[in-house]
Structure 1
Amino acid sequence: MTNDINTSETFVKVGTDQLFVKHYAPSVVNPSKAILMIHGSIESGRIFYSLKDKGLGPWLASKGYQVFIPDFRGRGRSMPKVSSNSKNNQYDAIEEEIPALINYIYTKVEDAELNFVTHSWGGVWLMAHIARHPELKVNRIINIAVKRSISVSSFKKWFEVDIVWKYVGKLMTNLFGYFPAVEMKIGQENESRGVYEDCRRWVYAKDEWIDIEDGFDYINEFAHRKCIPPTLYITGLKEFYLGHQTDVKRLMKEVNGAHDQFILLSKETGFAHDYDHINICTSKSGSDDHFPLIEAWLKSEDIAPWVK
């Protein structure tokens, strides 16, 4: 616990699994403004906070928000851990885990104003959930380094994605019965076979975004939706393929939101660093640099000073 926020921990049951949730709340007031933070693939909620309760999640709580940071199935401190027995896929994250977490927030925060902050693939899951649930009342969304497919080309992308993640990853998944990102030393958390295979399909389906579970066409749904929650997309200049600005903008076009904004975090655009995929969430300079931009968006304030 820091001087201005309280922390608590719990587990949210989803089927036979337990999702670990870290809750940061202001110590003085009990606001109705809530944020659900959704981590990406081969990582956990720890992308948003440190063991010393530093990072974007605690910082937002210090500004008056109730912040909920889960570990999705099998990751972080959720139980059971990913193994060859794991049967979950992306559809489960979109239609079971996210709803369970939202319902939990509503039991903890009276008349909650619901906001979302996502990182990387977590933003894809969230936007998929938004497409399926037009009835969901959401105030604002911040998608950090979020892309749905990868169109950029480089040697680094070819080797690390097309060779290591796609082909070696498939071989290792067949061998282990799950995607062993930790054993391969390419991620902080392992993924179930189902999540890995679903993710691989979407990344390489550049012009389609269709759910293999039930054929739901996300791009078609977004094309006919008029009320997408205002969404801020931010990414860093040193995002070489995991959240490259080109692919972030491709996702923005697919979602087709009327009140979306894009900001590139770089020295040239006035920020402290040319941010990359990880330090965009973890940099110690964030609290004085781009975290206030995120707060301004959540508060519906003018973000023109940050737009170059």
Structure 2
Amino acid sequence: MQSSSKLFPVTLISAELRGDLSEDVYRLKPGNSPDASVELALTRLGRADRETTRGVPVVLIPGSFSNRRFWYSPKSIGLGPYLARAGYDVWIAEMRGHGLSPRNQRYKHNKVSDYVRYDLPAIADFIHEQNPQPVHWMGHSLGGIILAGALGGHYLQQTRVASVVLFGSQVSRIYWPLKVPPVEWGSRLLLKSFSVISGPRLKRGPEDEPIGLALESLRWHGLLGRFGDADKDWWAGLIDVQVPVMAVAAEGDHQDPAWACRKLMEQFGSPLREFLCLGKKQGFSSDFGHVEMLVSKQAQLEVWPLVEQWVRKSPEVAAQLAMQPDRDEASAVSADQA
């Protein structure tokens, strides 16, 4: 079968019409990581009546224990279809071993650093080949952490990035017991006896997570831990990232609190940074939760339009700021918005 890409083997595994939308599902085999068995599923959504014209690309990355259905339900409801109907070229990425991406041979040992160093750059290259316009990247929870790591580690080319939106993503919440070395060592020893963490069993979501992710998180939150891999400090590298960034937090999110989400955004060096907190105090109908910020009737009415508004305005505003080198740095970060 002929590859859909000149970069590496890519198979178009399905091409369907879903009502007013077209759905193409690709399977990439980039062969750029130590595990050559890795294959990545990438779903593209577009308007069925505009297949000859590609809009601005938007890439959506699910969080932990999740897959493409977080953004795109079987009934074609979600932020993905919403943006596709607005004319954007929407791509939904599933990391190795999630959703339509098969489990690789070393699935147990998969880490965020694998997603950051190998998977996301391959996905970015393929999308650029299909649609060579700057991309708007969006990630929820772990998906946003993956994006931040790829940018902080300089694994994504900033010239190809139009903007970044982080939903409920943070790396600054402190787990004090893990700062005690014997506790961290004991936790690591216990986790190594497992191969996966079951999302369905723990009622966290439809997908499992490899134990490698949990072990990596222990290292980040340990006494001398940092957000990065063995080669690069991703946190420090975010200072050099100049792409527009918006962080969305929720007042009712006890897993990834608003202050920590804001701290991640403020680490970016971008002249255009916006922080949006979803809560009654900010004028929203409720204090949204970690999932409800994107998957709920209220999100459909109150949050999705704000995201689409950001996608439309961010490149233009960034271009204007770039022409004002003497601007007041304090104006770079907006106040909480309703």
The verdict on a shared fold, with TM-score over 0.5 as the criterion, is yes
- Counterpart of 1:91 in structure 2 is 113
Aligned with 1:262 (options 272, 275, 287): 275
- Counterpart of 1:103 in structure 2 is 125
- Counterpart of 1:57 in structure 2 is 80
Residues 174/139 of structure 1: CA separation in 2 closer, same or farther (3 Å cut): same
Amino acid of the residue matched to residue 67 of structure 2? S
In structure 1, the gaps of 5 or more residues are 159-165
1:149 and 1:202 in contact (8 A); partners too: no
- 3-state SS of 1:176 partner: coil
Moved more, 89-98 or 36-45: 36-45
Amino acid of the residue matched to residue 305 of structure 2? P
1:229 and 1:257 in contact (8 A); partners too: yes
Total equivalences in the alignment: 290
Aligned with 1:5 (options 21, 28, 44): 21
Does the alignment pair 1:122 with 2:152?
A: no
After TM superposition, give the deviation of residue 98 of structure 1 in Å: 0.3
TM-score between both structures, scaled by the size of structure 2:
0.76
- Counterpart of 2:215 in structure 1 is 197
1:173 and 1:180 in contact (8 A); partners too: no
2:144 and 2:169 in contact (8 A); partners too: yes
Deviations 1:217-244 (A, max 9, x none): 2233233x2x52111101111001x221
- 3-state SS of 1:253 partner: helix
2:245 and 2:265 in contact (8 A); partners too: no
- 3-state SS of 1:97 partner: helix
- Counterpart of 1:307 in structure 2 is 337
- 3-state SS of 1:280 partner: coil
- Counterpart of 1:163 in structure 2 is none
Instruction: Specify which structure has the bigger relative contact order, considering alpha-carbon pairs within 8 angstroms and separated by 6 or more residues.
Output: 1
The CA distance in 1 between the partners of 2:291 and 2:197, in whole Å, is 21
Does the alignment pair 1:236 with 2:258?
A: no
The CA distance in 2 between the partners of 1:206 and 1:258, in whole Å, is 30
- Counterpart of 1:179 in structure 2 is 197
TM-score between both structures, scaled by the size of structure 1:
0.83
The CA distance in 1 between the partners of 2:246 and 2:223, in whole Å, is 24
Equivalences for residues 95-174 of structure 1 within 5 A: 95-109=117-131, 111-133=132-154, 135-137=157-159, 138-151=161-174, 173-174=191-192
Does the alignment pair 1:77 with 2:82?
A: no
After TM superposition, give the deviation of residue 172 of structure 1 in Å: 6.4
2:275 and 2:335 in contact (8 A); partners too: no
Aligned with 1:46 (options 65, 69, 82): 69
Residues 266/44 of structure 1: CA separation in 2 closer, same or farther (3 Å cut): same
Amino acid of the residue matched to residue 67 of structure 1? V
Aligned with 1:245 (options 258, 262, 269): 258
The CA distance in 2 between the partners of 1:205 and 1:32, in whole Å, is 46
- 3-state SS of 2:115 partner: helix
After TM superposition, give the deviation of residue 27 of structure 1 in Å: 2.3
Greater Rg, structure 1 or structure 2?
Answer: 2
Identity, % of aligned pairs? 23
Q: Please tell me the root mean square deviation across aligned C-alpha atoms, in Å.
A: 3.0
The CA distance in 2 between the partners of 1:186 and 1:145, in whole Å, is 15
Amino acid of the residue matched to residue 25 of structure 2? E
Residues 170/46 of structure 1: CA separation in 2 closer, same or farther (3 Å cut): farther
Amino acid of the residue matched to residue 54 of structure 1? I
Deviations 1:246-289 (A, max 9, x none): 11122123334331110111123222331101111111232321
Residues 298/205 of structure 1: CA separation in 2 closer, same or farther (3 Å cut): farther
After TM superposition, give the deviation of residue 63 of structure 1 in Å: 0.7
